[in-house]
Structures are given as C-alpha cells and as structure tokens.
Chains A and B, each alone.
Chain A
Amino acid sequence: MIGLVRAELRKLTATTLWWWMLLGSLALTGLFVSLSIAFSGSTGDLTPPLSTVAGQRDVLATASSPTALVGILGVVAMTAEFRHLTATPTFLATPRRGRVVAAKLITYTVVGFGFGLACLVLAIAIALPWLSAKAITVSLSAPGLSLTALGVLVVVTIYGPLGVGIGALVRNQVAAVVGLLVYLFVLDRVLTAIPALQPVTRYLPGPAGDALTGGTLPNFPLLPAWAGGLLLAGYALVLAALGARFTLRRDVT
C-alpha cells in the first residue's frame, strides 16, 4: 500500500495541477481572511466583533474556503484515470481495483491535510498582525479558537478523500467536477436556506463542514463538531465504497 500511495503522489506531482490548486487555495484564503477582517463591524455586518473569540473564529474559519479546490483535486485524481485511459496501466499494475481507490483515499487525505495546514498558517499569518494593529490581542490557545483551527484542518483534509469518492462513483471528469461545484455552491445553499428542511439538511456535507469550523450560520442547528467530522468522513468512505463496488468494476475497454 505504501508503494501505491507513493505512486499516487508521483501521479499528482508529475503535472502542475496541484501547484495551481495550492496557489488558488492560498489566494482564496488570503482574500476571505482579509475581507472578513476589513469589513467586520461595517454597517449591516451581523458577525460578532473581532475582539470576541466568536469573531476571531469566524475569521479563522475562512481558511476552510479552499475545500472545493481540494475536492476537485481528489475528483481529478480518480477521473483522470478514465479520461486519459491510464486506468488500463493502473489496473494492470493493481488488478484489485479497490486497492487503487484505497491508495487514493490515503494519498488525498495527506494532500488535503497539507493544503489545510498551508491555508491555516496563511490565515493566522494575515490575521494576527492585522488584529494586533487594531489593538486586539488574540490568544490562539483560547478553547473556541484552537477548536476552529483544528476544524479547518479536518474539513479541508476530508474534502480530499471526499473528492476521490465522488470521482470513483462518477467516472466522468466534467460531470463529477461540475456536480461537486453545483452541489457546494448552489444546492447546499438553497437546501439549507429552507427552515423546514433543517432537521434533515444539517446532515448534508456543507453544514457538516460548518459544524467543524464553528463558523456562524445564524439560526442553523449545526451538529457538534465531532459529529460533523465523522459524518463528512463517512460521506467520503461511502461514496468511495459505492464507486469501488459498482462504477469501477465496469469493464475497462
């Protein structure tokens, strides 16, 4: 399995996609952290003030904004095998296809963690000097804040294997990427906006991720952070297992 994971890392680093995705992730994080600090307290802003731990958590939680990009990276890892027909040499080298999916799940957990860590560090590097310039002292060890930091790491990490799971189930690259984006940016938001559905929609991947970062969704019954994390990881594993069981067993012609 170590060899398989190394092979997956080599596939990732053989092209420049990961580099652009990392750059994009850092840019998104930088943008959202800056916006959330810059516009905090302006008229109409409902988020808690930056001087409170709750306000600082909201700033830090924006470091999880690259989840979609990490998800895409995971999707591409799986679907590129079919798009570029490398599924043939891949399955020749590893005839038990479930092992290929397992290797990708592990690899993209590692990759997701790396992305999460990079974004978190960037967010802190921007927020701390900026807030101290506003004469706000931030204690990273404050219980709520360290939990959010951990939550950011976990949620960005899990989107890696989640993408792999989606890619395993939907072999078509364009369909899988578009599906992921439409879900995250349209479906998830529309569904969670309907109050009557909230007892159900709290179990969707979007709110499960929000539960982890402790970001503020006003009047939304988020799950406890640990439950959100488990649920999100569960989505990744179930999608991957379904993909391995059904989609990936199809003939490679």
Chain B
Amino acid sequence: MSQHRLNPATTRPGRRHKRGDVKPGRIVVYELCKDFGAVRAVDRLSFTVEPGMVTGFLGPNGAGKTTTLRALLGLVEPTSGTATIGGLRYAELTDPLRVVGAALESSSFHPARSGLAHLRIYCAVAGIPDQRAVEVLEFVGLGEVGHRKVRGYSLGMRQRLALAAALLGDPPVLILDEPANGLDPEGIAWLRALLRELAHEGRTVLVSSHALAEVEQTVDQVVIVHRGRLVRQAGLAELAQEHSATVRAGGPDPHALFRALAGTGAEIQWAGGRELRIRGIDAAMVGHLAHTARIELHELSTQRGDLEEVFLALISEGVPAATS
C-alpha cells in the first residue's frame, strides 16, 4: 500500500471532526455516549490525545475505558457522539493496520494457532510482507516461541503477542488496553521504554490502566474517567503540581503563622508540634507572607504527594451530577 495512505487525514481533510483541528494522528473523542441496555457505560465523554506523547487513559475497573477504546476502534457502535483518529472514524480508514495498532485484550487468539500463524493472517489482510511477522515477534521477545500454539502461552506472552500484532503495520497511532497486565517487572520496564520510544518517534500512544502508579513513569498526559465521565484531562506534571504539593512550615509561633496565612484561602492543617501543613499556595508564598508578618520560620519545605493518592482522590470526589 502506498505511503500517502499512512495518514488518511491528509488525503481526506476535514471530514467528520467535531472539535479541534484535524491533525494526523490526533485522537478526538467528542461527546461520546454508549448505552448497554439501561446502563450508560460512557457518558458524554470528550477528550483529545495528541501525537508525540504517551497519554494514560485512567479510571477504575468499569469506568468505561475499554468501551471507549472499542468505540474508537469501530468495534462498538456509539449511542451518540463521535470518536475519530486523524479526523476519520475507524471504519473510514482505508488501511487501518497501517494507521492504528491496537492491543485490546490478551485473550483474542485462536488457541490452536501459533503466534506466528496469528500474525501472518493479518499480514495477508493488510498486504504486509510475512517477514514483518517474524520481525515483530522477535522485537517483543517471542522469537523462539513463535511456532508454539498460543494455548501454551502465559498471560505475559499473550500480552507481548498482542503488542506484536499492534506493531505489525508500523502504525503512527497505538492504542493499548491495559498492556502491562500479566507482565513481570522486567517486562513492565521494557514496555515503559518502548512506549517512551514510540512517542519520541512522534507516534500517538494511548495506554489505558486502572492504576496511575502503573503508568506514572511512562505517561505525559492523563485522561481520567470515572463512571463513564471525564474527571480530568491534564499533563502529569500539572496534576502533581495542583493536587499534591504540600508545604510544611514550622517555627516558634505557629499560631501567628496560621493567622498570617488564613486570609489566602489556603487549606491549613496542624501537623502536630509547631508545624503546619499547607495546601493551595506554594512555599515561596508562605515564606513571603511569613517574612512580611515578621514571623520566624524554622522549617519551610515542599512535599510531593503520591500521585496515586491524587488519582484516588479525584475519582472518589466523583464527577459532577448529570446535566441531563
């Protein structure tokens, strides 16, 4: 297949996008809703995923992550709203395996087929040389078991095979649903490096996970969903900044310090002894206010909170009540 098909948005610009500029490799989910019977799995979800970075798609189990990804990949028909890749719905992609590589679940293999046979099937569909199947198998570390039936693969090996299938068409967009499940620590480290590398090459990398800690070292952006709704889309650094920076300040007269800070709207807690724990303003501001009020400080430090706590706090705060 010819190169110009690689980014379909360049050949068919402007179709069907509802928000934002159409850009090759940009994923736009817009007002997506999906009902399964009476259950609303995805509820007016909107977010954007940019190329050149790793985006974590986070939420507890049952938050609607997999349904959203399946809607994006044309496997599930949205009740309303759109999900596009480079401005096109998945079904409109002329050569999907060369545009989007997806690894959705570690169980969608015929148990009696070998890993290599599985990949060669999709080589035939997409007109990819068979040699590529061997290459990706070796790349994911399954080179020696490629001829073995998938029935005998461990969960980690199935995850690697799913990843190999996603990489088969060398696509600019990668969508991976819980790819770290079943991988050993070595495998997780390898996956992290791989995802970073793929993003560094300019690809769009969307990775779902139910635990922020799992992807914390990998992702640049997070899209957090809960009960089918968007809780937050932000850069990881921004999130850490906003939610978890706690300033510890202490001195001989904590009461005076408390009064000096009380007007700022910061959240102040007694940390015991002569220390305060302050959230909402940074250490520089605390220092400045103390100095202005001529309060003696013995300690002034910033504590980075655990991002996982931030994540849990965000999803336990819940989401705004339905507007409908």
Contacts and interface: CB of A to CB of B under 8 A. Distances in A.
Interface of A: 3-4, 6-7, 10-11, 14-17, 80, 84-89, 91-96, 249, 251-253
Given A14-B117, A92-B97, A93-B125, A84 B77 contact: no
Contact of A253 (B67, B97, B100): B67
A14 B67 contact: no
A95 B90 contact: yes
A14 B113 contact: yes
A7 B118 CA distance: 10
B124 A3 contact: yes
Interface stretch (B7-15, B51-59, B101-109, B270-278): B101-109
The prevalent SS among residues of A at the interface is: helix
Interface in B164-206: 165
A101 to B, nearest CB: 14
Given A95-B91, A251-B75, A7 B112 contact: no
A86 to B, nearest CB: 6
Contacts of B113: 11, 14-15
Nearest to B67: A253
B121 A253 contact: no
A6 B124 contact: yes
A253 B76 contact: yes
Contacts of B121: 7, 10-11, 14
Contacts of B77: 249, 251
A94 B198 CA distance: 24
A80 B110 contact: yes
A3 B110 contact: no
Nearest to B73: A92
B75 A92 contact: yes
A86 B70 CA distance: 14
B126 interface: yes
20 contacts: A7-B121, A7-B122, A11-B113, A11-B121, A80-B110, A84-B110, A85-B107, A85-B108, A85-B109, A88-B108, A92-B73, A93-B97, A95-B93, A95-B96, A249-B77, A251-B76, A252-B70, A252-B75, A253-B75, A253-B76
> Considering the complex of A and B, which 8 residue pairs feature the smallest CB-CB distances, nearest first?
A14-B117, A7-B124, A85-B108, A6-B124, A95-B91, A15-B112, A251-B76, A252-B75
Given A14-B121, A91-B75, A95-B90, A3 B114 contact: no
B252 interface: no
A80 B177 CA distance: 23
Contact of A92 (B66, B96, B107, B118): B96
B256 to A, nearest CB: 61
Interface string B66-85: 11001001111100000000
Given A84-B108, A85-B109, A95-B93, 12 more contacts: A7-B125, A10-B121, A11-B113, A14-B110, A14-B112, A14-B113, A15-B110, A15-B112, A85-B105, A92-B96, A251-B70, A253-B76
Interface in B29-82: 66-67, 70, 73-77
